[in-house]
Amino acid sequence: MTDPAAAMARLAGHPRFAELVDELRAAAPVHQVDQADAAAAHAARLAAAGGGSSSTSTLTALPNWLRRELVEAFGVYARALPGRTCQHAPHPDRPAPVTAATWRPRLVVCVDCAPLLGEPWQVCSWCGAAGVQVATVQAGLLLYLVPVCRGCRPQVVADAA
């Protein structure tokens, strides 16, 4: 059986991914698209106010391992993949910014419940080096937290280069 998260990550890396998203947005009810856009704008403001490194990114621009983790978090949020959410049960029917972290796979929480994600790893999510800083990668309404070292930051956070 095909791993759903892997299949969704391959789709997110497809050259026509942006075109497919545009087609889905055109087919969706206008109020849902408007609410999702407002949630994404709110997430961008939260990421900018956080003070750490952050990047708004298209999924296709991310390294494969990080794209897969982001897609998996979106799958949990949409209830397409098994996982957990906070007590507020964020869901696409009620678009709002959500947070997930590489050190707590398959847990998606509203921004108020971000402390449930716990303490980050003290090693880089990519290479395993010590001396990390938590970067925030924003993809739509999702704020994804990733501990990365100085050497790996440019591949994960666009504005760190």
How far CA 127 is from CA of 102, 118, 131, in Å, comes to 13, 21, 11
What residue spans define the domains of the chain? 4-160
Q: Is the pLDDT of residue 161 over 60?
A: no
Say what the pTM is: 0.86
Model confidence pLDDT, tens digit, residues 14-27: 788 788 888 888 99
Model confidence pLDDT, tens digit, residues 99-116: 999 999 999 999 999 999
* 42 or 4: which leads in pLDDT: 42
DSSP state for residue 123 in the 8-state scheme: B
**Beta-strand (E) ranges in 2-83?**
54-56
